[in-house]
């Protein structure tokens, strides 16, 4: 089946969220939602999520899944907010436990922070499947950017998160704790083994030099032929050297510290203090 895919682009974080729906029917899923966050003031806003909610209600859709491709480091997830208003189960890869263990230590979360993935409704393993109405989705574990990255393949559509970008921009960074350029290369080969006409929907776009508009949909065939980092059967050793050299020159994402603390909790804020106030931590010299 060929699902219908509606994209929602967030200009602040360059994130693309998606609503995936049956070609005939009302079942749908939301992938990689955004909770707006102003770091200077510490204030959240739901404008991006509300746009998705309005679309879902306008088309009378039934949300069955709210999926995360990974624990994002560049934006906060709106999954709990969407779930409260639209329903659906929140799902992520089972290696979230590895991410929770790593960043639970970095943020000094203590024993009260559960590192078993229990904040999510579903933990997917490689090879698992799920359904959106009559459409079957298959789950590929595609680590490298993070240990818990997943690709969701539904019909002819593959949602790859940050693993691949548009062909003229390349691939994801691998220098966060638990990342691996070698793993990323192998994960990309799995994605590129899908049929050439498989539609690939990326998690971000930054407009590569020479391109005037944002874009987020490509195909396996285009990636194999044109991706500036892995196209043309680039050798693994060459890719790893390029990726590690490039990553060493990159700054940390602006929202990495708030994003990780919230997203490893399935989009929930840390527990409030006795007065009902919520705080995010700012670890020094940890990343």
pLDDT score, position 274:
94
- Residue 265's alpha-carbon distances to 32, 68, 71, 147, 193, in angstroms, are 14, 12, 9, 16, 33
Contacts of 197 (CB under 8 A, 6+ apart): 156, 219, 220, 221
pLDDT score, position 79:
98
**Virtual torsion, Cα 21, 153, 132, 119, nearest 10 deg:** -110
- Residue 287's alpha-carbon distances to 99, 113, 176, 252, in angstroms, are 14, 20, 8, 8
- How does DSSP classify residue 272? P
Q: Encode pLDDT of 39-55 as tens digits.
A: 999 999 999 999 999 99
Q: Encode pLDDT of 132-146 as tens digits.
A: 999 999 999 999 999
Q: Encode pLDDT of 60-82 as tens digits.
A: 999 999 999 999 999 999 999 99
Tokens representing 90 are 């929140």
- Tell me the C-alpha distance between 110 and 150, whole Å: 27
For residue 286, pLDDT over 90 is answered with: no
Report the chain's mean pLDDT, rounded to a whole number: 97
Tokens representing 196 are 């050439």
Q: Encode pLDDT of 16-37 as tens digits.
A: 999 999 999 999 999 999 999 9
Q: Encode pLDDT of 178-227 as tens digits.
A: 999 999 999 999 999 999 999 999 999 999 999 999 999 999 999 999 99
Average pLDDT over residues 79-107: 97
- Tell me the C-alpha distance between 280 and 287, whole Å: 16
Q: Encode pLDDT of 146-190 as tens digits.
A: 999 999 999 999 999 999 999 999 999 999 999 999 999 999 999
- The pTM of the whole model exceeds 0.75: yes
Share of the chain above pLDDT 90, in %: 98
Closest CA to 281 of 177, 98, 264, 266: 264
Q: Which residues pair with 202 in a beta bridge?
A: 161
Q: How confident is the model at residue 287 (pLDDT cuts 50, 70, 90)?
A: confident
Tokens representing 123 are 């933990």
Question: Are 45 and 34 a contacting pair, CB within 8 Å?
Answer: no
Q: How confident is the model at residue 1 (pLDDT cuts 50, 70, 90)?
A: confident
Helix, strand, coil content of the chain in percent (nearest 5): 25, 25, 50
């Amino acid at each position: 089946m060929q699902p219908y895919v509606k994209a929602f682009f967030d200009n602040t974080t360059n994130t693309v969220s998606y609503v995936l729906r049956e070609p005939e029917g009302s079942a749908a899923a939301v992938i990689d939602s955004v909770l707006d966050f102003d770091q200077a003031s510490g204030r959240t806003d739901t404008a991006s999520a509300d746009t998705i909610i309005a679309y879902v209600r306008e088309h009378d859709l039934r949300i069955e899944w709210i999926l995360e491709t990974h624990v994002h480091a560049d934006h906060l997830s709106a999954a709990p907010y969407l779930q409260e208003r639209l329903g659906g189960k929140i799902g992520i890869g089972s290696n979230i436990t590895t991410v929770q263990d790593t960043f639970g230590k970095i943020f000094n979360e203590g024993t009260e922070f559960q590192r078993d993935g229990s904040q999510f409704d579903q933990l997917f393993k490689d090879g698992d499947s799920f359904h959106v109405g009559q459409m079957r989705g298959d789950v590929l574990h595609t680590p490298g950017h993070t240990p818990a990255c997943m690709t969701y393949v539904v019909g002819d559509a593959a949602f790859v998160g940050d693993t691949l970008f548009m062909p003229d921009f390349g691939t994801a960074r691998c220098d966060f704790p638990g990342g691996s350029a070698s793993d990323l290369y192998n994960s990309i080969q799995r994605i590129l083994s899908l049929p050439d006409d498989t539609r690939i929907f990326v998690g971000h776009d930054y407009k590569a030099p020479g391109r005037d508009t944002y874009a987020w949909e490509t195909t396996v065939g285009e990636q194999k032929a044109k991706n500036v980092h892995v196209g043309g059967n680039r050798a693994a050793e060459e890719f790893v050297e390029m990726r590690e050299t490039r990553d060493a020159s990159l700054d940390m994402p602006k929202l990495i510290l708030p994003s990780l603390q919230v997203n490893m909790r399935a989009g929930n804020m840390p527990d409030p203090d006795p007065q009902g106030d919520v705080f995010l931590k700012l670890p020094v010299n940890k990343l």
